[in-house]
Chains A and B, each alone.
Chain A
Amino acid sequence: MLREVLLALLGGFGQSLQLFCYTLLGALPLGLVIAFGSMTRWRPLQKAVRGLVWVVRGTPLMLQLIVIYYGPGLLIRDGNLWGGGGVGRMAAAATAFIINYACYFSEIYRGGIESVPRGQREAGRVLGMTRSQIFFRVQLKQVYKRILPPMGNEIITLVKDTCLARIIAIYELTYAGQAFIKSHGLIWPLLLTGVFYLLFSGLLSWLLGREEKRLGYFE
């Protein structure tokens, strides 16, 4: 039985891990784009982007998942954007997660960028550096150091948020554990999923802590 449970949970964890990785790969760069949008001096774009961030941060991720997965099919006849299978569901979940996390990340990026002292930019300018040189060669590493702790927080939250994807029938870790209640009347497989989450978030905390230490040589 233990073997059967472990196999099922590993399969579920694989789905959770996939969603976790897709979300980071998409949301880390998209968040930066959104951050620049919310900081632009062109008012209409700034307003639109800040509006988007407000909506995404102000509504539950579960609701967003449902809207993104079922929405296209309801709005357009034969508009089943995602296809019926597991791949389509994962694509829909990843899309919802990426948009959601990118909005949270964008606020962290924005805070990080705005917290770099103005003198750094001015020093770059009087040395004849271009705006993009100043961003990539002077500000970026300082921003990275500053945002690492809040970013780590969000990433740990993401590990556990992946379980929301079950609402569109993705067979992720929690779902896999809970299935044994119905099929075998067993509760311990569900409790065992907690160990998976703990180990994975523990590994991430350790990696993040190491990275923070590596950047400790400057202030």
Chain B
Amino acid sequence: MAYLEIVGLGKRFGGADVLHDVDLSLEQGQILSLIGPSGEGKTTFLRCLNFLETPDRGIIRLNGETLFDADRPKGRQAHRQAFGLVFQAFHLFPQYTVLENVTLAPTLAKKGSKAALQQKAMDLIAKVGLTDKANAYPNTLSGGQQQRAAIARALAMEPDVLCFDEPTSALDPLLTKEVLNVIRLLKDEGRTMIVVTHEMAFAREASDRVAFLYGGTVAELGTPQEVFGAPRTEALRRFLRQ
């Protein structure tokens, strides 16, 4: 049984199937890249994993534990903090410094003593290369720095699976590179990640699995070699030609 298993996930908005019959699995320590045209359900899928949307159908299982099962009554779901999410637009808390952004949620969740959480936050901030900006406010940072701070903030809650929703779409090529480098670093640490991205070079070279979402479901799934080297559907061939 795989580390992360998603079976038959579906989500409707106003009578339209935005997602349907999404089956995906991922081993621990792997990166899954989600590619595909805009509006085909990639973001909705990540929002379902993070319970920003409640799926209408399907099962989410992590490490053998069922986190979500649409057939269970409401309120009987195990809303454990299993996933983390890094947004396209960062969404840092503007009134807090980088350090405060990183420590806020773990402090409220009482994840440890103040000193221990501070230390851990500084370690994470160092990891994303922002030590000299730890006491800076978000509006003084570049987009790339803000996104790296947001990654440190998400890591502070120790998610089992970290999700990225087009983490570089708001950035220019240079800043894109520094954010992607952080994601590569996390891969080397063995973190399990799901990345929605339009950076095809990154998806090809850094991910273990690639899923092509089309028409609200997984149209192709495989290794980067399979998906990029030998696309089976016309939709993927057309998407890759662009």
Contacts and interface: CB of A to CB of B under 8 A. Distances in A.
A127 B152 CA distance: 12
Given A122-B87, A133-B108, A137-B108, A127 B154 contact: yes
Which 5 pairs, one residue from A and one from B, show the smallest C-beta to C-beta distance? A127-B105, A119-B91, A123-B91, A218-B94, A128-B81
Contacts of A1: none
B95 interface: yes
B156 to A, nearest CB: 8
B153 A127 contact: yes
Interface string A32-66: 00000000000000000000000000000000000
A218 B139 contact: yes
Chain B, interface residues (CB within 8 Å), range: 20 to 34
A141 interface: yes
Q: Is the interface of A mostly helix, strand, loop or mixed?
A: helix
B151 to A, nearest CB: 13
Nearest to A124: B105
Contact of A126 (B85, B94, B108, B138): B85
Contacts of B139: 218-219
A138 interface: yes
A124 B50 CA distance: 12
Given A127-B153, A128-B105, A129-B108, A141 B89 contact: no
Interface of B: 50-52, 81, 83-85, 87, 89, 91-95, 104-105, 108-109, 137-139, 153-154, 157
A129 B91 contact: no
Contacts of A117: 91
Interface string A132-176: 010001100110010000000000000000000000000000000
Given A128-B157, A218-B95, A119 B104 contact: no
Contacts of A138: 93, 104
Given A125-B51, A129-B105, A130-B108, 13 more contacts: A119-B87, A122-B52, A123-B93, A125-B52, A126-B83, A126-B154, A127-B105, A128-B81, A128-B109, A142-B94, A145-B95, A218-B137, A219-B94
A141 B108 CA distance: 17
Contacts of B138: 218
A120 B83 CA distance: 17
Contacts of A218: 94-95, 137-139
Interface residues of A, number: 21
A119 B61 CA distance: 27
8 contacts: A119-B91, A123-B92, A126-B52, A126-B154, A127-B157, A129-B109, A218-B94, A218-B137
Contacts of B153: 127
Interface string A9-39: 0000000000000000000000000000000
Contacts of B108: 129-130, 133, 137
A218 B140 CA distance: 9
Interface string A162-200: 000000000000000000000000000000000000000
Which of A124, A127, A129 has the most chain B CB within a 10 Å cutoff? A127
A165 to B, nearest CB: 38
Interface in A92-133: 117, 119-120, 122-130, 133
Given A127-B105, A128-B157, A133-B108, A122 B95 contact: no
A130 B85 CA distance: 16
A138 B52 CA distance: 17
B54 to A, nearest CB: 12
Contacts of A128: 81, 105, 109, 157
A127 B91 CA distance: 12
A122 B91 contact: yes
B162 to A, nearest CB: 11
Nearest to A120: B91
Nearest to A118: B91
A137 B104 contact: yes
B89 A120 contact: no
Contacts of B81: 128
Contacts of B94: 142, 218-219
Contacts of A125: 50-52
